Amino acid sequence: MPELTADLGACQGYANCVVAAPDTYDIDDDGLVVLVRTEIPEEDRARVEEAARSCPVSALKVDGK
Amino acid sequence: MSAHAVGRGPGADGRAVIVGASVAGVRTAQALRREGWTGPVTLVGDEPHPPYDKPPLSKQLLTGAWEPGRAVLLDGPAAREAGITLRLGSPAVRLDPAGRRVSLADGQTLSYDVLVLATGAAARPSPWRPGSGLHVLRGLDDLLALRRDLELPGPVVVVGGGFIGAEVASAVRARGREVTLVDPLPVPMARLMGEEVGAHFNGLHRRHGAVTAFGTGVESITGRAGALTVRLSDGGALPAATVVVGIGSVANDAWLRDSGIPLEDGVLCDEYGRVPGHLGVYAVGDLARRRLPGPGGPQRSEHWTSAVEQAACVARTITRPSAPSAEASVPYVWSDQYDWKAQIVGAPGGARLHRLIGDPDGSPARFAALYSGDGARLTGAVLVNWPRAMLMARRLIAEEGALAHAERELTATGQVSRA
Ligand SMILES: Cc1cc2nc3c(=O)[nH]c(=O)nc-3n(C[C@H](O)[C@H](O)[C@H](O)COP(=O)(O)OP(=O)(O)OC[C@H]3O[C@@H](n4cnc5c(N)ncnc54)[C@H](O)[C@@H]3O)c2cc1C
């Protein structure tokens, strides 16, 4: 299954990802992204990737088949 | 492939030309491919550099935390893989909508079936022209020139206390330099967020050792790099090694002047980015002056998130013209200044400040300022160092949530997070 990863060193808490896919991304109290799930079913991939692309510092990646 | 087919249905094998190769243009090109466009996609950019992103210019790239490569949006191999032809280093100089042709400065002509205008905006030119040492900050070349001049010892003066000026002052302070920030407005951020919250942003500069000369205009800037003098309207004079001027932006629409495309500091278009009267021509990003539903005239958004969303929507509209797609979300912009991550959602400008929750003076600060246009619903918010509150505010604004409800929810989160 496609896998979602986050670069916590890059994350700035801009939170665009959470707005785009709240079922997959959240943000903690310090303003860092929290991945609600990392295995992304194929049918959700496009939406989760679109959310990843909305990250201004490219901290999110979906890899694999 | 005729233009008409594009207007009628998904003529996805046509020639798409996108002019302007920063975030709006790059994202449109990539999204066209994702949406199934099979025809040629050509992305035209005036700069020789691989397309790069702008927000880091006044942040990580100015402090030196990042090297320019990190801001690249699309390099050669990625473009090839996506089937995007990059035409870099030569600006588009003329558009002939009847003949469906774009001419470049190097003499090339590109024919298109679909055209996306994404030439963005430029820094408003400085009215002051000393011999050297004066900078604006909009592109990579601006950044590199500024970084070079920041090697010169001596104080730095920043003219303009908006987002860019404030971020530049913050980054220059982070480099350990003396900074004075000048703006004719007593509270430069007031236009965006009102006097009270704006005043906290004034205080932020002073807390971090920047000098503010607010409520003071600039009369003249003379001299040369390393030895400049900034004369102020109150009679004062500031010595400066380097001056940065951040006084707003103007749309890059001059190249369209004789094309018949409707212009008004930007390209006039509808909420879908379609240019009225020009089938198959679209505008996205900072260049697009969109007529949105509701009151108010057509507006240019100058925010990254909006540019990204407009790009995705325009690609959908191009590939499925019968079901045009418009950006749905609440306006959002962030700004990083010193130890504050400010996030602004909705439209606090013009609305009334209802309440400030949290602590703007703490170290680190954390607060939420809630605004209402009608005294009943939450219509805007300014959040500092509090992304969870930003998310909540963004959701409540989208839902047209009651102010009282927003206040309760935010106060509750505030208490939980401090416990
Ligand atoms: C220093 C800085 C910091 C910012 N910080 C933030 C921030 O923190 N948060 C936020 O939300 N937004 C921020 N922004 C705004 C955000 O970057 C813009 O909204 C975004 O870049 C708009 O993208 P765009 O592609 O529409 O336009 P632009 O970024 O202006 O890009 C347009 C491109 O078109 C090119 N071009 C111009 N004319 C021609 C021509 N005739 N032919 C070919 N190419 C041409 C230009 O060289 C440019 O590369 C910042 C902007 C700047 C400048």
* CB-CB neighbors (< 8 A) of B337 in chain A: none
Tell me whether A61 touches chain B (CB under 8 Å): no
Q: Is B58 in the pocket of ligand 1 (CB under 6 A)?
A: yes
Q: State which residues of chain A have pLDDT below 50.
A: none
- Alpha helices by DSSP H, listed for B35-75, are 60-63
Q: What is the pLDDT of residue B293?
A: 85
Tell me whether B289 touches chain A (CB under 8 Å): no
Tell me whether A13 touches chain B (CB under 8 Å): yes
Which residue in B31, B317, B76, B10 sits closest to A49, CA to CA?
B31
Contacts of A59 (CB under 8 A, 6+ apart): A6, A7, A8, A10, A11, A12, A33
| Strands B299-300 and B288-291, bridge-based pairing | antiparallel
Could you give the C-alpha distances from B236 to B133, B155, B203, in angstroms and in order? 20, 15, 22
Q: Residue B144: count other Cβ atoms within 10 Å of its Cβ.
A: 13
Q: What is the pLDDT of residue B350?
A: 84
Q: How many domains does chain A have?
A: 1
Q: How is residue B309 written in tokens?
A: 């969303």
CATH code 3.50.50.60 for B125-247: yes
Which residue type is seen at B119? T
Q: Which homologous superfamily does the CATH classification assign to the domain defined by B3-122+250-319?
A: FAD/NAD(P)-binding domain (3.50.50.60)
Give span(s): CATH 3.30.390.30, chain B.
339-411
Which residue in B64, B71, B63 sits closest to B47, CA to CA?
B71
Q: What is the pLDDT of residue B270?
A: 97
Tell me whether A55 touches chain B (CB under 8 Å): no
A31 with B386: Cβ contact below 8 A = yes
Expressed in angstroms and rounded, the spacing between residue B249 Cα and the centre of ligand 1 is 10
Contacts of B41 (CB under 8 A, 6+ apart): B16, B18, B29, B32, B33, B83, B84, B85
Q: Is B198 in the pocket of ligand 1 (CB under 6 A)?
A: no
Mutate one of A11, A18, A24, A26 to test the B interface: name it (highest B CB count within 10 A): A18
B388 with A56: Cβ contact below 8 A = no
Q: Is B221 in the pocket of ligand 1 (CB under 6 A)?
A: no
- For residues B381 and B373, the answer to whether their CB atoms sit within 8 Å is no
Q: What is the pLDDT of residue B416?
A: 55
B388 with A16: Cβ contact below 8 A = no
**Helices B403-418 + B387-398 axis angle, to 10:** 160
Domain enclosing residue A15, as ranges? 3-63
Mutate one of A7, A8, A16, A23 to test the B interface: name it (highest B CB count within 10 A): A16
Which residue in B163, B191, B187, B161 sits closest to B350, CA to CA?
B191
Expressed in angstroms and rounded, the spacing between residue B22 Cα and the centre of ligand 1 is 6
Q: Is B92 in the pocket of ligand 1 (CB under 6 A)?
A: yes
Give span(s): CATH 3.50.50.60, chain B.
3-122+250-319, 125-247
Q: Is B219 in the pocket of ligand 1 (CB under 6 A)?
A: no
Q: What is the pLDDT of residue B41?
A: 98
Tell me whether A9 touches chain B (CB under 8 Å): no
Expressed in angstroms and rounded, the spacing between residue B286 Cα and the centre of ligand 1 is 7
Tell me whether B391 touches chain A (CB under 8 Å): yes
CATH number at residue A19: 3.30.70.20
CA-to-CA distance for B40 and B30, rounded, in angstroms? 12
Tell me whether B389 touches chain A (CB under 8 Å): no
**Residue-wise pLDDT tens for chain B (419 aa)?**
444 444 444 478 999 999 999 999 999 999 999 999 999 999 999 999 999 999 999 999 999 999 999 999 999 999 999 999 999 999 999 999 999 999 999 999 999 999 999 999 999 999 999 999 999 999 999 999 999 999 999 999 999 999 999 999 999 999 999 999 999 999 999 999 999 999 999 999 999 999 999 999 999 999 999 999 999 999 999 999 999 999 999 999 999 999 999 999 999 999 999 999 999 999 999 999 999 887 789 999 999 999 999 999 999 999 999 999 998 779 999 999 999 999 999 999 989 999 999 999 988 899 999 999 999 999 999 999 999 999 999 999 999 899 999 999 888 877 655 43
Q: Enumerate residues 14 to 43 of chain A having a beta carbon within 8 A of any beta carbon in chain B.
A: 14-16, 18-19, 27-29, 31
CATH code 3.40.50.970 for B339-411: no
CA-to-CA distance for B222 and B225, rounded, in angstroms? 10
* B184-203: b (≥16 Cβ within 10 Å) or e: bbebbbbebbbeebbbbbbe
Over residues B226-284, the pLDDT tens digits come to 999 999 999 999 999 999 999 999 999 999 999 999 999 999 999 999 999 999 999 99
Candidate of B59, B86, B115, B252 to mutate for ligand 1, largest count of ligand atoms within 8 Å of Cβ: B252
Expressed in angstroms and rounded, the spacing between residue B373 Cα and the centre of ligand 1 is 30
Mutate one of A33, A54, A55, A58 to test the B interface: name it (highest B CB count within 10 A): A54
Judge if the upstream peptide bond of residue B364 is cis by omega within 30 degrees of 0: yes
How many CB pairs below 8 Å do chains A and B form together?
Answer: 43
* CB-CB neighbors (< 8 A) of B390 in chain A: 15
- For residues B194 and B172, the answer to whether their CB atoms sit within 8 Å is no
Q: How is residue B228 written in tokens?
A: 């400049």
A14 with B417: Cβ contact below 8 A = no
Q: Is B54 in the pocket of ligand 1 (CB under 6 A)?
A: yes
DSSP secondary structure code for residue B198 in this structure: H
Which residue type is seen at B293? P
Dihedral pair phi/psi, residue B278, rounded to 5°: -135, 85
Nearest CA to ligand 1 atom 28: B120
